[in-house]
Each structure stands twice: as structure tokens, then as C-alpha cells.
Amino acid sequence: MIKQSIKGVNLGGWLVLERWITPSIFSGCSATDETSLCRELGAGAKKRLRTHFETYITKEDFIWLKEAGVSAVRIPVGYWIFGDEEPYVGAIDVLDNAMRWAAETGIKVIIDLHTAPGSQNGWDHSGLAGEPEWFKDQSRIDKTVETIDRIAARYHTAVNLIGIELLNEPRWDVPLETLVGYYKAAYEAVRRHSREDVMVIVSDAFRPAEMTVRLQEFEWSNLVLDCHLYQVFSQEDKSLTTEQHIEKTFIEWKGLLQDLQQTIPVIVGEWSIALDEQSLSELTPLQKEATYRAYAAAQMYVFENAHGWFYWTYKTEGGGNWSFKQSITQGKLFL
């Protein structure tokens, strides 16, 4: 089980590409996701992506994270990580390196399966934008279980592996019974190989209360629920004032985490200090900086009601408030 609160960071845009994080990888292409990029590049995909995999994150980044006070990283990977899925470029050796660098720098690791065949949510960060088809075909679900099994088997001796996340952000309209059936098969795959102290992490699929009730039916050891908390995407959140954002954090989010923690351990697997410009439009630059610091402090305080948190994301080519590294260096975040 989790012995202390985790202060973590996501290594987004590294082994699963997102155009907004690393637009240079998509330079000269019309592709919007990793699938279409690999298809558009064809034979040139391997060179471009391997260069990115081998240079975007290195051991120096792990050293920096450790010195900044980070205790763990969440590493998103694709179901194609082993390199045997067309048209994708594999990177299992790079993940091996990441596990070694993390061990050498004293950082714990959660491996997060961020994509599934056919897409579990239809968003670009699932590797394939469009209509989600993953849950409509049992062979796709079986392939996803197989990937989890291979990951668990490969890293079963890694003492710094603290968790495997079965699938990132299945959309709210994935049938609950189908999703829970997948969770059951994937949980069993992890437990065939892993230590009992390795967390099996499941997404709340944007319905935390319903998911928690359903999961109580199973006697699964060291099961952890992952909630992703943002106030930047919905029109309702965009219309909030800065004071209302902080109020929502202290009241709504704190209440949610406290309620969930009564029945299941929870981590906040993704969060950020990013806010929509609509919420900040009437503020001076100095007031904006103060807002970011206050919003960051409020979230980290409230997330003490969970078993840990992971900022999204470590860095972006454009910097800004989505970049943990820039937010730390600019004094907006303090660990």
C-alpha cells in the first residue's frame, strides 16, 4: 500500500505523442495524432520518433526532478510500446532506460497505459482521434489485456515500480460493465506477475462515484482510483472568476476526494495550474502571477486528501503553465 503522499509529475508527450506538447515532431505534417503521424511519415517515422524518444527525456531530467522534490513519475505509454504494431514505432528499450534512470535517482514510477486499440476516448492523446471503438470489439480489449500482462511481466522485479495504470481516461460513454470486465482481466494480469505492494490503478472514467460503488464488489488488493482534476476545459469552468476557481478547489474537490477516500485509495493522476484566459482577462500581469501561485497552493493543499498527485506535464516545447518545469523555475509552484 501507499506509505506516504506522492508528489509526482507526468512525462507526457514523450512515449505517447501529443501535438500541442511537442509540435516540432509534427512539423511539415497535417497529422493530429500519433497514428496519423506514423502513417503520414511512412518509412520516415522510425527515425523521427526514435530521435524524439531518445532525446526529449534523459537521465538529466530525472536528476532535475529529484532535486526539485519530485518523488515519482507517471509515464504514459502506448499499447504499441513493444514495437510489434503497425504503423507505430516501438520504444520498450526507452522505457527500460527510464526505469533504470528512475531507480538510479531514487524516483518511483507508475506506468500508465495511455492508449488502446481503436481508442478508448476518441481524443488525440489516445493515439487516435475520432470515434472511440475500443470497447466495441472484444479482440481489442484482449489485446489491451495482453499489453498489460507483458508490461507487468517485464518489470515485475523493478523495485521502484509502484503502480501500473490499466487504461488512461476511458470516456464516460464506455459501457460500465465492459470497462469493469476489462479492469478485472487486466488486474488479474498484473497480479500474475507483480508484488502485492504494486498498485493496480484504474481510471474513474469521469464517473467517480459510480465507479467506486462498482469496484466495491471486488476484493482486489492494493487497488487505487485515479481522478483527473482540471478547471480549464468546460465552458462552466472557463466562466469562473479566479476566486471561484479556488473556492471550487477547496469545496467541491476536497469533498470529492474525502468522500472517495472513505471507500478506496485515490490519486490525482493529472492536474495543472492552467486556467483559461477568460478567467484571467481582467487581471494585471502581477495579479495573474499571484493567482497561479494561489491556485497551485490550493490544489496541493486539497490533494493532501488523496494518496498523491501527478502534475500534467513535466515540460512542453511552448512552456507555459502546463509545464511543471517552467512553473517551478518561475516560482508559481513550490514543493
pLDDT per residue as tens digits for the range 217-257:
999 999 999 999 999 999 999 999 999 999 999 999 999 99
Q: What does the pLDDT read at residue 100?
A: 99
pLDDT per residue as tens digits for the range 95-143:
999 999 999 999 999 999 999 999 999 999 999 999 999 999 999 999 9
Q: What does the pLDDT read at residue 108?
A: 99
Q: Is 270 a catalytic residue?
A: yes
Rounded percentage of the chain residues whose pLDDT exceeds 70: 99
Domains belonging to the chain, first-starting first, are 6-228+310-329 (3.20.20.80)
Q: What does the pLDDT read at residue 3?
A: 54
In eight-state DSSP terms, residue 160 is T
Residue written as grid cell 494561489: 294
Active-site pick, 54, 169, 196, 243: 169
Long-range contacts of 323-329 (CB under 8 A, 24+ apart): 324/9, 325/64, 327/273, 327/292, 327/296, 328/68
Q: Is 277 a catalytic residue?
A: no
Q: Are 132 and 174 in contact (CB under 8 A)?
A: yes
Q: How crowded is residue 284: how many other Cβ atoms within 10 Å of its Cβ?
A: 9
- The stretch 267-281 carries a mean pLDDT of 96
Please state, in angstroms and rounded to a whole number, the distance separating the CA atoms of residues 132 and 203.
16
Q: What does the pLDDT read at residue 234?
A: 94
- Where is pLDDT greater, at 2 or 201? 201
Q: What does the pLDDT read at residue 5?
A: 86
Q: 6 pairs with which residues across the strands?
A: 308
CA 180 to chain centre: 20
Active-site pick, 217, 243, 270, 317: 270
**DSSP secondary structure string for all residues of 116-133:** -TT-SS-SGGGTS-SS--
